[in-house]
Structure 1
Amino acid sequence: MDIQKLQRMQNASRAGGKNAPRRKQVRKPRSEADDQKVQAALKKINVQHIPGIDEVNMFKEDGNVIHFSKPIVHSAANANTTAVYGRAQNKELTELVPGILPQLGADSLANLKRLAEQYQQLTQSQQQQALNKAKEEDNGDDDVPDLVENFDNADENKNVD
């Protein structure tokens, strides 16, 4: 090979320099930095770790629940602040009802009754829609032919032969 050709190939493959394309840097999410900022802000208001909490449930207006199992909870009563750390799961209220009844207060029980009524109305409307849909499907079923012959007469004709 020619030396000049090798030099041209080497210059063309060089990363960086004049007329070289810029490469984008891959940036990692800054979750650790954000967590550290949150921790620093919480330390400023003197939060204390609360041991012995097995689960945390946060009720939404739409009837769903944000459920934390075995969370880490920090609280500062004077700043009216509570921080909950852990893996959160969105669950429906009906999934958690037997276990959370002792946790509910008077206000929550009223909300639970209201949600139960809404859920019942919703399920009734869904059942009604399913029945209407089934009726529509049954009305359109023309695959079964109508009876033309009288089978009783056909049976008598066989006995005669």
Structure 2
Amino acid sequence: MNPEKLAKLQANANRSKGAPRRVVKKVHRPVAQDDRKLQGALEKLALVAQPYVEEVNMFLEEGTVLHFRQPKVHVSAASNTYAIYGRGEEKELTELVPGILNQLGPDSLASLRKLAESYQQSAAGQAALAAEGDDEVPDLVESFEEASIEETKETTA
């Protein structure tokens, strides 16, 4: 056995003499334990689970929507308290427009109008740029072969 390796192993040993070598196992706690803590907190608030909720949309002031697909919803009607948890995605209002028109309130309708106006202005600006520029291909005035021959003459001279 190599004495250098042996000395290195002895220096790295974190155990007392005579103690067996043991591999330390890391115990991973299941997610269910966190879920139990959450359920306990919800029970303290007297929240009741509401099944069959397909989606939840929260409209933010920036014009974006926090969208939950198939969330878990708990409600306490007496205290006007809602607990919504699940995987949420932040989306633009335009991505969800056809399906959420019936969910929009007066504030959201105003932001939707502003969004539509800005979209119309940008579309009008693009149309003006398209009208200014010629879409036709310009006629070929010179031949490319003659231009390349002239370039080669200039570089050799």
TM-score w.r.t. length of structure 2: 0.57
Query: How far off its partner does 1:65 sit?
Result: 1.0
User: In structure 2, what is the equivalent of residue 23 of structure 1?
Assistant: none
Equivalent in the alignment of 1:112: 108
Aligned equivalent of 2:13? 15
Report the identity percentage: 37
RMSD, matched Cα = 3.9
Residue ranges of structure 2 left out of the alignment (5+ in a row): 16-25, 143-157
Partner residue of 1:85?
A: 85
Partner Cα separation in structure 2 for residue 115 and residue 29 of structure 1: 45
**Aligned residue runs from structure 1 range 122-161, under 5 A:** 122-123=118-119, 126=122
1:51 paired residue number = 51
Per the alignment, residue 23 of structure 2 pairs with none
| Contact 2:59-2:108 at 8 Å conserved across structures | no
C-alpha displacement of 1:116: 2.3
Aligned partner of 2:42 in structure 1 is 42
The residue type paired with residue 14 of structure 2 is G
CA shift at 1:123, angstroms? Answer: 3.1
Letter in 2 for 1:15: A
| Aligned position for 2:95 | 95
1:30 and 1:128 map into 2 onto residues whose CA distance is 56
Which one-letter code corresponds to 2:116 in the other structure? Answer: Q
For 2:18, the equivalent position in structure 1 comes to none
In structure 2, relative to structure 1, the CA distance for the partners of 1:101 and 1:10 (3 Å cut) is closer
Amino acid aligned to 2:91: K
Contact persistence 2:57–2:67 (CA under 8 A): yes
Question: How big is the shift at 1:77?
Answer: 1.6
SS in structure 2 at match of 1:65: strand
Q: Which runs of 5+ in 1 are unaligned?
A: 18-25, 139-143, 149-161
Q: 1:92 Cα shift?
A: 1.5
Question: Once the two structures are superposed, what CA deviation does each residue of 1:60-96 show, in whole Å capped at 9, x if it has no partner?
Answer: 1111111112221111122321111222121221222
Write out per-residue CA displacement over residues 1-49 of structure 1, whole angstroms, 9 at most, x where no aligned residue. Answer: 68x767534423x2337xxxxxxxx9x8997665544332211121111
- The equivalent of 2:63 in structure 1 is 63
TM, length-normalised to structure 1: 0.56
Tell me the distance in 2 between the aligned counterparts of 1:88 and 1:122: 27
- The separation in 2 between residues aligned to 1:70 and 1:8, in whole angstroms, is 60
